[in-house]
A and B are shown apart, each in its own frame.
Chain A
Amino acid sequence: MHPAPVYCTDYRLCNALGADREQVLNRLASGQTGLLAPSFALPFGTYVGELAAELGPLPLPFARYDSRLARLGYALATDLQSSIDAAIQRWGKRRVALILATSTGGLLETESVHQGLAVGLPLPSGYGLLRTHGLGATAELLQQVLGTDGPAFVISTACSSSAKALASAQRLIQSGVADAVIAGGLDTLCQTTLFGFQALGILSAERCRPFARARNGINIGEGGALLLLEREADAEIALLGCGESSDAYHLSAPDPEGYGAERAMRQALEQAQVSPSEVGYVNAHGTGTPQNDAAEALALARVFGTGPSIVSTKSYTGHLLGAAGATEAIFCIAALEQGQIPTNWGVDSEDALGIRLGRETLKSEIRYALSNSFAFGGSNVSLLFGKVAP
């Protein structure tokens, strides 16, 4: 089946590159990384992508949902509110769905509460297991803030979460259940992820350098990205194809041959009826670990050869985990809109891996861009965006 395009009518994002859309995209275009030494103490060396935005408290009616994640979601959603209001006006509030993604939920607050309990402090009165920690809490909050009445849930498949949220949004619109979907992802830094990736031995003590020969691991970041997708719109860019597969190989390591990743990419291309040679830019998952990048490069080489420019933007933002897929989808949309492909930070001419790694910011009118997101559990997602005729 060749499904109809799903139009991207607006988006917002923030992360280590900037507090708003313009700052993030400008710094990405100018090749400046947002990765810095952490502003907090850790017993090991690493770089992190800390949010470049101050997050204010939630308004009183919503205070019971308070968490850093909820504040991030609230800031992005209210920034996007005028477009969402227009969508509600056009389609009706019951026809507007909200599909978010996160891997951590309110884990930052739960860490603090648990630490307090360990030294005899009482459970804080404002803490609720479902509304503070629960992964679905931010969708419940934003549904109230934005006034949407359509389906609302959160997808949590680790690092592919928000790419899956966009794929789910596509299905909701194509099935006729929704006419517009607010979709995206949110994740905030917390100890569990930093110590967890350190325990797995894949956290880099330096700034990460995806696809470089000297790559030695990932950096973790925090951020959020929300997109408004609609059935019909006077918009230039659309989500044209989604591919989703499972490696069925290992819980945290990729299939070394990248077969699951290849299946996801081919599904997205097939659904969009776009040939690999028409794709001008691939935003790779590109975490910076030797294993992940090698497996993805094999899959990319089989699908695309040395055709499109392959770039990992995790060297700018850090790995945003549950927010990575939606953030990198926006980087693809921006590349299509602006005719400008970012460069791989920290990759030099000796690095190849059998694919075409972008080594400078490239001015190039492209028609199609693909974003890859892979995750623990062997969860693979590829999203194909393209320019559509007005």
Chain B
Amino acid sequence: MKQIIGARLHLAAIGFWQPTEGGNTAPEGNLLGTRARGRASHLTLMFAEVLGQALAESQINPEEMALIFGSALGEMERLIQLLTTLHGPTHDISPLRFQTSVHNASAGQLSIALKNPNFSSSLAAGCNTVAMGFVEAAVWMQTRQTPLVLVLGDEAPPPELHPGSTYAPLAAAFAFLPEAIPDQPSATFQIVITPADSANTELPKIPNNLSNPCHLLEPLVSWLRAGTAGHFELSLGGPTQYGIERR
């Protein structure tokens, strides 16, 4: 039996970034000032880019929104830089790199850039990071009912810890409003859960090493932008299946 999770979500805007062939390998992240951009990691620049797109399109006041970030691996680029220094001759870790290596570094930098004093969070759920991000967003909208932007993504894996294969970085942002958007019924959807079939109830699938843990974002953004009715499956494993349903 299906169960509806949290509130209906009213999608006001989407931001999306991934590298394009032959160029655009660096997100601009203009929400951050010039100095902050220079200090930001690639993941933070990706998140700043998609959040900027979503805010520009949605007209949400950035000082009044809540922010939820999700990334399976977080600030891996920064972490590898730290470990390289740590295992070098001086152990002389950069304070800036340390403070921007935490999983919520993007949340901190973007709340500062946007002067946002409200709720922000940062979560991880392996290959279910996208699904759990939407669950947390739907629950937030039901219980707190403020504008919210959900920002999800992962960068490419560090080759030394993920040898033999790689995948492209990508990120997306979804801006939600507490009220339905006039004349845009296709902007409203809900998160549903269904018990997985018996073949899926033993152990969660270890995600495909060839895929970005957030790789669902690309087809999800296309599906949401197309505005068609139906079901989009968000789960990549685990005992319960999470999906988006739009009438």
Contacts and interface: CB of A to CB of B under 8 A. Distances in A.
Interface of A: 1, 3, 43, 64, 93-94, 103, 105, 107, 110-111, 113-115, 117-118, 123, 127-131, 133-137, 139-140, 143-144, 149-158, 164, 168, 171-172, 174-175, 177, 191-192, 195-201, 244-252, 259-260, 263, 375-379
Contacts, number: 225
Contact of B103 (A110, A128, A157, A198): A157
Contacts of A200: 95, 98-99
Interface in B102-139: 102-105, 107-109, 111-112, 114-129, 132, 135-136, 138-139
Given A152-B125, A153-B136, A246 B116 contact: yes
Interface residues of B, number: 73
B72 A134 contact: yes
Contact of A248 (B112, B142, B213): B112
A251 B108 contact: yes
Given A154-B124, A196-B93, A246 B118 contact: yes
B73 A133 contact: yes
Contacts of B112: 248-251, 378
B82 interface: yes
B119 A377 contact: no
A197 B95 CA distance: 8
Contact of B161 (A129, A155, A199): A129
Contacts of B240: 94, 149-151
B147 interface: no
A135 B122 CA distance: 11
Contacts of A137: 126
A199 B95 contact: yes
A134 B76 CA distance: 10
Contact of A263 (B100, B117, B207): B117
B81 to A, nearest CB: 11
B118 A155 contact: no
Contacts of A115: 83, 87
Interface of B: 3, 5-7, 72-74, 79-80, 82-84, 86-87, 91-95, 98-105, 107-109, 111-112, 114-129, 132, 135-136, 138-140, 142-144, 157-158, 160-163, 193, 195, 203-204, 206-207, 213, 238-240
21 contacts: A103-B103, A111-B86, A114-B161, A123-B160, A129-B157, A130-B126, A135-B73, A140-B126, A153-B128, A171-B144, A174-B143, A199-B95, A200-B95, A246-B107, A246-B117, A246-B119, A248-B112, A248-B114, A252-B95, A376-B105, A377-B107
A131 B206 contact: yes
